[in-house]
Structure 1
Amino acid sequence: MRIAIYGAGSLGTIVGAYLSKGNQNVELIDVNQEHINTLNSSGATIVGTVNENVPVKAITPEEMSGSYDLVLLLTKQIFNKQVLENIKPYLSKNGVLLSLQNGVPEEAVSAIIGKDKVIGGSVEFGATWVKPGVSELTSAEPAFKANAFQIGELDGTITERVQKIKEVLDLVGGTKISTNLVGTKWSKLMINIAMSGTSAVFGCTYGDVLNNETALETAIRLADETIKVGHSIGVKFVKMGGLEIEKFNLNKDRSNLNEAAEYAKVAFQPQALLKASMLQDLEKGKKCEIDYINGVVSSKGKEVGISTPFNDLLVELVHKAEQEKSVPDFDTNIVYFNELIDKGI
C-alpha cells in the first residue's frame, strides 16, 4: 500500500514518523520547503511526552507522482478546494482518501473526490508544531497509544478497506472503527469547539483553561451549545477517547454545570500542555479554521433556531484577532465571557 500524508504539520509529522517506523511505504507531503528539507535530512523528530527520531521521505505537492492507495488528509479546511483538486488525479483506481480534518468536512470532500473514495475519521491526540522537522506530542503517551483515531465509512458499514486502514493506523496508536461517523465527527467537533476554541480565544493552553473558573465555564457552555444544536439535527454523540460527551449537556437550570466542570478537569488533564492549532495559526499571523469549528455551531444554530451566544462571541473575537494579525490576550478576552456569564444568558 502506497500512502500519502497530505499536510505534514504537527499531527502529520507524528503520524508519518510512526508509519515510517512501522515500515509502511509513506510520503509526507507539505508546502513548507524548509520542513520538507529537514525531514529528509534529519528525520521526523517527536518531542514532548515521547522522544523519537525516525527517518522519513518527504516531498512538496509539486513533487507528487504516480498514484496513492491511501491519502490521509490533514490540511486545514480553508484550503480544501485547491488541495482536493490537487490530490484527485493521484488517487489510485481503488484508492481511498481518509479525511482527518477538524470539523465535519466529509460532504464537501466527497463532492470533489467522490463519495465512494472517502472515509471519515477524527484524530484524538494533540500535537504542537515546534520547528521544521520537529513536532511535540502533547497528549499523555498512554492516552495516545490507547486512543489515537476513530475512522469509519460514511454509511456506517464495516468494510474490508476500513479494517485494513485500521491495521495501518494502529501502528501510530489505538484506532477504533465507528459505525456512527456523524456522531464521531460531531463528538470530536464538540471537543474542538470547547477546548481548541477556548485555547484560541484566550491565547493559552488547555491547562490554562482548566485552571480558570470563567474560562472553564466558557468551555462547558460552548460544549452545551454544540450538543443542543447537534441533537436538533439528529446527531447521536459517541464516547470519544473515554470521554462521555453527554456529560456536557447542561440541564435547563444548569444545575449540573459544576459536575460537568469537574468532569472536564479530569478528562482533559492529559491534554493540559496542548495549544490549539488555531492559536498556533494566529501566532503566525494566519487565518485559522474558526468558521469550520465554532462557526459550524453558530451557523447551524441560526438555521434551527437555537441560541449560541458563547460560540457567536468566540467567533467574533477570533475574527478580530485574524483581522488585526494579533494573538488574543487572556485577561482582555476573559472579561467579555465573564460579562456574558453575569448576564445569566
Structure 2
Amino acid sequence: MKIAILGAGSLGTIAGAYIAAGGQDVELIDVYQAHVDALNQSGAKIIGTTDFQTKVKAITPDNMSGTYDLVLLLTKQLYNDSVLQNLLPFLDEKSVVLSLQNGIPEEKVASIVGRERVIAGSVEFGATFMEPGVSKLTTEFGHFKEYAFQIGELNGEITERIHEIKTILDLVGGTHISDNLVGTKWSKLLINNAFSGLSAALNTEFGGVIDHEVSIVSAAHIADETIKVGHANGVTFAKMNTFDIASLEIKSENDIPERVQTLRNFMEPSRLLRASMLQDLEKKRKSEIDYINGVVPRLAKGKGIATPYNDMVVKLVKQAEETQSVPNFDTNIKFFEELNK
C-alpha cells in the first residue's frame, strides 16, 4: 500500500513518522521546503511527551508521482480546492482519502474526489510544530497510544477497507472505528465554535472565555445554535467521552445558568488552550473561521434558524484578518454583551 500524508505539519509529521517506522511505504508531502529538506536529511523527530526519531521520505506536492492507495488529508480547509484538484491525477478508483481536517469538510472533499473515495476521520491528539523536521507531541503518551484517531465511513457502515486503514493508523496510536463519525465531527465543531471561535474573536485563552460571564453565556448560545442547525441538517451528535453534547441545547431562557455551569465544568481541563485561529491572527495569516463558526450560518440558510452569535464571531475574526490586527478583549466583549441583552 502506498500512503501519502498530505500536509505534513505538526500532526502529519507524527503520523508519518510512526507509519514509516512500521515499515509502510509512506510519503510526507508539504509545501514548506525547509521542513521537507530537514525530514529527508535528519528524519522526523518527535519530542514532548515522547522522544522518537526515524527516517522518512518527504516531498513537495510538485514531486508527487504514481498512485496513492491511502491519503491522510491534513492540510487546512482553506486550500481544499487547489490541494484536491492537484491530488486527483494520483488517485485510482480504489484510492481512499481520509479527511482528518478540522470542522466538517467531508462533503466538500467528496464533491472533488468522489464520495466513494472518502472516509471521515478525527484526530484525537495534540501537537505543535517546533522547527523544520521537529514536532512536539502535547498529549500524554499513554493516552495517545490508546486514543489517537476515530475513523468511519460516511454512511456508518463497518467495511473491510475501514479495518485495513485502522491497521495502518494503529501504528501511530489507538484507532477507533465509529458508526457515527459525522456526529463526532459535529460535536467537535460545537466545542470549536464555542471556544476556539470566542478565543480568536476576543483574543484570550479558553480560560478567559470560561471566566467572563458575558463570554461563557455567549459560548452557551453558540453551542445552542450549532445543535439546532445540526439537528435541522439530520445530524445525530455523538457523545464526547460520556457527555451528551446535544444536552447543551437551550429550550428556554431558564436553561442558560445550567448550560453555563455544565460548559464551565466540561471545559475546565482545557483552560490553557489558545485557538489556532488566534495564532493565525497573531501571525497575520488567514484563519479557518469560514470552516468553523462559518459553517453554522451557512447550513442554517432556509431552515428558519437565527445564528447571531456565530455570525458575530465570524464578523469579528474577519475584521481582524482584514486589518491584520489582533482583537481587543474589552472592545469585542461589548458586542456579545449587546447580544446577551
TM-score (norm 1): 0.89
Could you tell me how far 1:299 is from its partner in structure 2? 1.9
Cα deviation code 1:239-293 (max 9, x no counterpart): 13444312322231242x4444444344344544433232232222221111111
Q: Letter of the 1:73 partner, please give it.
A: L
Sequence identity of aligned pairs in percent? 57
**Counterpart Cα distance in 1 of 2:329 and 2:130:** 22
Matches within 5 A, 1:175-190: 175-190=175-190
Deviating more after overlay: 318-327 vs 92-101: 92-101
Matched residue, 2:103: 103
Cα deviation code 1:76-119 (max 9, x no counterpart): 12211111111111124421111112222222212221122111
**Counterpart Cα distance in 2 of 1:132 and 1:184:** 32
Q: Letter of the 1:339 partner, please give it.
A: E
Deviating more after overlay: 237-246 vs 54-63: 237-246
Matched residue, 2:286: 287
Could you tell me how far 1:48 is from its partner in structure 2? 4.0
Matches within 5 A, 1:18-33: 18-33=18-33
Cα deviation code 1:184-241 (max 9, x no counterpart): 2322221221222122222333344334443333322211110011112221111134
**Counterpart Cα distance in 2 of 1:270 and 1:59:** 38
Is residue 296 from structure 1 mapped to residue 295 from structure 2 by the alignment?
Answer: yes
Secondary structure class of the residue paired with 1:336: helix
- Give ranges in structure 1 of 5+ residues lacking alignment: none
Matches within 5 A, 1:300-319: 300-319=299-318
Could you tell me how far 1:327 is from its partner in structure 2? 2.2
The 1:273/1:220 distance shift into structure 2, 3 A limit, reads same
Could you tell me how far 1:333 is from its partner in structure 2? 2.3
**Counterpart Cα distance in 1 of 2:49 and 2:254:** 36
Q: CA RMSD in A?
A: 2.3
Secondary structure class of the residue paired with 2:28: strand
Secondary structure class of the residue paired with 2:253: coil
Could you tell me how far 1:143 is from its partner in structure 2? 4.5
The 1:338/1:38 distance shift into structure 2, 3 A limit, reads farther
CA contact (8 A) 2:205 2:273 kept: yes
Is residue 221 from structure 1 mapped to residue 221 from structure 2 by the alignment?
Answer: yes
Secondary structure class of the residue paired with 1:94: coil
Matches within 5 A, 1:82-101: 82-101=82-101
Deviating more after overlay: 243-252 vs 24-33: 243-252
**Counterpart Cα distance in 2 of 1:306 and 1:58:** 46
**Counterpart Cα distance in 2 of 1:142 and 1:227:** 32
TM-score (norm 2): 0.90
Secondary structure class of the residue paired with 2:8: coil
CA contact (8 A) 1:139 1:270 kept: no
Secondary structure class of the residue paired with 2:129: strand
Secondary structure class of the residue paired with 2:230: helix
Matched residue, 2:335: 336
Deviating more after overlay: 302-311 vs 233-242: 233-242
**Counterpart Cα distance in 1 of 2:16 and 2:329:** 34
Is residue 74 from structure 1 mapped to residue 74 from structure 2 by the alignment?
Answer: yes
The 1:62/1:271 distance shift into structure 2, 3 A limit, reads farther
- Give ranges in structure 2 of 5+ residues lacking alignment: none
CA contact (8 A) 1:28 1:58 kept: yes
Secondary structure class of the residue paired with 2:273: coil
**Counterpart Cα distance in 2 of 1:238 and 1:186:** 8
Matched residue, 2:201: 201
Matches within 5 A, 1:121-270: 121-255=121-255, 257-270=256-269
**Counterpart Cα distance in 1 of 2:222 and 2:140:** 25
CA contact (8 A) 2:120 2:182 kept: no
Secondary structure class of the residue paired with 2:103: coil
**Counterpart Cα distance in 2 of 1:311 and 1:93:** 39
**Counterpart Cα distance in 2 of 1:53 and 1:210:** 38
Matched residue, 1:36: 36
Deviating more after overlay: 199-208 vs 62-71: 199-208
Secondary structure class of the residue paired with 2:158: coil
- Report the number of matched residues: 341
Q: Letter of the 2:20 partner, please give it.
A: S
